[in-house]
Amino acid sequence: MSTPLGQADEALRQIQASPSYAQQILLTTAAVLRIQPGRPLYPRVLDIALGFGADAIVGELPTAVQLDALDRARAALPPVGNTVTHGEYALLLDSIAKTV
């Protein structure tokens, strides 16, 4: 039988192992961009994909949580280069998501 302290430790380990909302938004945004991997990426398209990612991950959560997660995800975004494709940027997002 586990003790309350042991249960609390296990719960904390599970929380720490779970990806953050910002991570999940970045990974979902990357998945959206992979729909058309060869297309050139424009800032407006990235905003739309990020919006889809945020809505899918935090859309049902309180506004403060939504805004915090989206702010953290946006802060991690690398600049959009002149010749980067959706697929290339998706790979960047996968890599960056590990650090958020």
Q: What does the alpha-carbon distance between residue 30 and residue 26 come to, in Å, rounded to a whole number?
A: 6
Cα–Cα separations (whole angstroms), residue 59 to 12, 18, 25, 66, 98: 25, 18, 11, 7, 22
- pLDDT tens by residue, 37-90: 999 999 999 999 999 999 999 999 999 999 999 999 999 999 998 889 999 999
In a domain, 43, yes or no: yes
**What is the predicted pLDDT for the residue at 81?**
83
CA distance 61 to 57: 9
Q: Are 69 and 20 in contact (CB under 8 A)?
A: yes
State which residues form the domain around 33: 20-97
Count of domains forming the chain: 1
Tokens for 42? 């424009």
Domain assignment present for residue 5? The answer is: no
12 belongs to a structural domain: no
